């Protein structure tokens, strides 16, 4: 029993005075220091005294920092990790270090960093993350770092910075951002204004430059001229395959999404058909109508051909392609959407009656049919219904009355509302 207790004491004492075998531990100026630099370490060694305040693991071969890597040393104030091979800093690796004032992670390979952990490091004064492979910084990454004085992010792969990223850093006096491949689009314009008015010292501004777009390559961020920046606007228009001519089964329906905005918006089509939702990132075909490489398709001819110029062609329009066609335009300033409902009436199914029942009450009977210039004034989204019957007789009657169905008139009509209903009446 006594022997056992002696062992207990030995273990307890051992724990208190321990130092991992490869490291040197000691005291200096009241700090408890653990020096494990230049030891070829591939992991953070276990067994530190719990009161360590300074830990150097610089110039080792650590490949990552796992969750709880510094759980043993909650009182740490300085942590030196420069010149390792760290790629990943896992969630929970640093969050326990609420007393940390200095953190050096420079000269590693970090691309995957747990930014959330910084939210717990509210005592941090120095953060060195230069010479890594960071590609982005979340907008709220620094929201708790009210004591941070120096932030070094130079020599990374940052291509943009969200507006307000540095706003919470009220104690910041030094910021290094040089040598990042910035993409000088609307999203980073704020930085110039901020950099020119802030009291924060930003050295080496000659090396804070645009890498893209090509025409701005090498331009200093602080010398960028204002760019014309605007959120997207879209208009959907429609074109029959042959203007005013009779439409036969298998005709080509063309929708055109005219999107404005700076930078040029990305287009997506969302098509709600009877068979389900089809989502298309535009373009999915080249100018020749052939599927672009990487587009999943069983057949050589795509059912929906989205061209880079904003046109969507449906080569074999049938009942299966009826539905709601939405064009969604997105750029870094926002997004906009426009939709059109397309229904197909074929002779023999009781045309008007069937369609009339299907869109009960939305279409005043007879209104909008045959006389294309009979504009239905929309009074609400649900009433934004324009019905156009295209049939041989219809076109002829309209033409006889001196009201030819021109593509332009059709487009004018189709631009009336946001939710349009277009009936195509084929005749053969």
Ligand X SMILES: *[C@@H]1O[C@H](CO)[C@@H](O)[C@H](O)[C@H]1NC(C)=O
Residues 190 and 214: beta-carbon distance below 8 Å: no
Token pair belonging to 71: 């759980």
Distance between CA atoms of 152 and 106, rounded to whole angstroms? 9
Which residue intervals of 123-215 are DSSP H helices?
A: 189-197
Separation between Cα atoms, residue 269 and residue 251, nearest integer Å: 20
Please, what is the minimum distance in Å from the beta carbon of residue 296 to ligand X?
21
- Any residues with CB less than 8 A from the CB of 359 and at least 6 apart, and which? 343, 385, 421
In whole angstroms, how close is the CB of 129 to ligand X at the nearest point? 16
Compare residues 218 and 402 and give the one whose CB is closer to ligand X: 218
Asked if 203 is part of the footprint of ligand X (rule: CB under 6 A), the reply reads: no
Residue placing its CB nearer to ligand X in the complex, 216 or 355: 216
Q: Which of 23, 32, 257, 410 binds ligand X (CB under 6 A)?
A: 32
| Beta carbon of residue 354, minimum distance to ligand X (angstroms, whole number) | 32
What DSSP string describes 202-234?
---GGG-BEEESGGGTT-BGGGPPPP--EEEEE
Nearer to ligand X, 179 or 246 (CB): 179
Residue 207 binding ligand X, by CB under 6 A: yes
Residue whose structure tokens are 């760290």 = 86
Provide DSSP, 8-21. HHHHHHHHHH---T
Tokens 């002696």 found at: 6
Q: Which stretch binds ligand X (CB under 6 A): 2-10, 24-32, 188-196, 291-299?
A: 24-32
Q: By rule CB under 6 A, what string of x and - marks binding of each residue 69-98 to ligand X?
A: --------------------------xx--
Residue 56 or 311 with smaller CB distance to ligand X? 311
Q: Of 27-35, 211-219, 275-283, 395-403, which part binds ligand X (CB under 6 A)?
A: 27-35
Choosing from 311, 331, 391, 426, the residue that interacts with ligand X (CB under 6 A) is: 311
Distance of closest approach, residue 182 Cβ to ligand X, in angstroms: 13
Site for ligand X in 101-120 (CB under 6 A): 120
From the CB of 267, what's the least distance to ligand X, in Å? Answer: 12
For residues 242, 243, 248 and 253, what is the CA-based torsion angle, rounded to 10 degrees? 70
Does position 49 bind ligand X by CB under 6 A? yes
**Could you give the CA distance from residue 260 to residue 256 in angstroms, rounded to a whole number?**
13
Name residue, tokens 């071969």: 61
Tell whether residue 298 is a contact of ligand X (CB under 6 A): no
**Near ligand X by CB under 6 A: residue from 17, 215, 298, 400:** 17
- Residue 291 interacts with ligand X (CB under 6 A)? no
What is the Cα–Cα distance from 326 to 155, expressed in whole angstroms?
Answer: 42
Rank residues 289 and 366 by Cβ distance to ligand X and give the closer one: 289
Which residue stretch of 134-142, 306-314, 380-388, 392-400 sits at the interface with ligand X (rule: CB under 6 A)?
Answer: 306-314
Q: Is there binding between residue 51 and ligand X (CB under 6 A)? A: yes
Our finding on whether 219 is near ligand X (CB under 6 A) is no
CB 327 within 8 A of CB 236: yes
Q: 187-193 long-range contacts, Cβ below 8 Å, gap at least 24?
A: 187/160, 187/162, 187/163, 187/332, 188/160, 188/161, 188/221, 189/224, 189/226, 189/227, 189/229, 190/163, 191/161, 191/221, 192/221, 192/222, 192/223, 192/224
The reply on whether position 24 binds ligand X by CB under 6 A is: no
What's the distance, CA 119 to chain centroid? 23
Regarding 60 and contact with ligand X (CB under 6 A), the answer is no
Q: How far is the CB of 204 from ligand X (least distance, A)?
A: 5
Smallest distance, ligand X to C-beta of residue 75, A: 9
For position 170 contacting ligand X by CB under 6 A, the verdict is no
Site for ligand X, residues 343 to 362, rule: CB under 6 A: none
Q: How far is CA 142 from the centre of its chain?
A: 20
Identify the bridge partners of residue 236 per DSSP, sorted by sequence position.
257
Contact 57, 24 (CB under 8 A): no
The site map against ligand X for 171-190 (x = CB under 6 A) is: -------xx-----------
Q: Supply the minimum distance, in Å, between the C-beta of residue 396 and ligand X.
A: 27
Task: Give whichever of 111 and 120 is closer to ligand X, judged by the CB atom.
Answer: 120
Q: How many chain residues are in contact with ligand X, going by CB under 6 A?
A: 19
CB nearer to ligand X: pick between 236 and 422: 236
> Using CA atoms in the order 236, 327, 290, 318, what is the torsion angle rounded to 10 degrees?
-70
Contacts to ligand X by CB under 6 A: 16-17, 27, 30, 32, 49, 51, 95-96, 120, 178-179, 204, 207, 256, 287, 307, 309, 311
């Amino acid at each position: 029993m006594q022997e056992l207790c002696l062992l207990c004491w030995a273990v307890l004492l051992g724990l208190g005075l321990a130092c991992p075998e490869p490291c040197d531990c000691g005291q200096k100026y009241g700090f408890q220091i653990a020096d494990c630099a230049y030891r070829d370490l591939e992991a953070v060694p276990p067994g530190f005294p719990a009161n360590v305040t300074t830990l150097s693991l610089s110039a080792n071969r650590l490949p990552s920092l796992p969750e709880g890597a510094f759980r043993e040393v909650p009182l740490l104030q300085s942590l030196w990790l420069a010149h390792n091979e760290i790629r990943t800093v896992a969630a929970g690796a640093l969050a326990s270090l609420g007393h940390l004032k200095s953190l050096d992670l420079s000269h590693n390979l970090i691309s995957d960093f747990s930014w959330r952990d910084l939210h717990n490091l509210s005592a941090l004064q120095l953060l060195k993350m230069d010479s890594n492979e960071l590609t982005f910084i979340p907008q709220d990454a620094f929201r708790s770092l009210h004591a941070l004085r120096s932030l070094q992010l130079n020599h990374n792969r940052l291509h943009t910075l969200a507006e307000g990223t540095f706003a919470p850093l009220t104690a910041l006096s030094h910021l290094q951002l040089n040598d990042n491949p910035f993409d000088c689009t609307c999203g980073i314009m704020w930085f110039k204004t901020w950099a020119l008015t802030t009291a924060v010292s930003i050295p080496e501004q000659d090396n804070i430059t645009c890498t893209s777009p090509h025409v701005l390559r090498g331009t200093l961020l602080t010398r960028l001229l204002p760019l014309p920046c605007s959120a997207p606007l879209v208009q959907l228009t429609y074109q029959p395959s042959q203007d005013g001519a009779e439409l036969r089964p298998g005709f080509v329906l063309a929708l055109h999404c005219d999107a404005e905005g700076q930078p040029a918006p990305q287009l997506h089509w969302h098509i709600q058909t009877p068979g389900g939702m089809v989502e298309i990132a535009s373009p999915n075909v080249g100018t020749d109508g052939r599927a672009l490489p990487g587009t999943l398709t069983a057949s050589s001819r795509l059912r929906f051909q989205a061209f880079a110029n904003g046109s969507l062609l449906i080569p074999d329009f049938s009942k299966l392609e009826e539905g709601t066609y939405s064009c969604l335009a997105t750029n870094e300033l926002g997004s906009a959407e426009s939709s059109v409902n397309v229904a197909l009436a074929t002779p023999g199914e009781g045309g008007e009656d069937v369609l009339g029942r299907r869109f009960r009450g939305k279409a005043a009977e007879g209104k909008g049919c045959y006389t294309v210039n009979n504009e239905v004034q929309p009074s609400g989204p649900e009433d934004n219904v324009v019905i156009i019957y295209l049939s041989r007789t219809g076109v002829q009657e309209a033409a006889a009355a001196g009201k030819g169905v021109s593509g332009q008139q059709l487009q004018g009509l189709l631009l009336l509302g946001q939710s349009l209903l277009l009936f195509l009446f084929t005749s053969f």
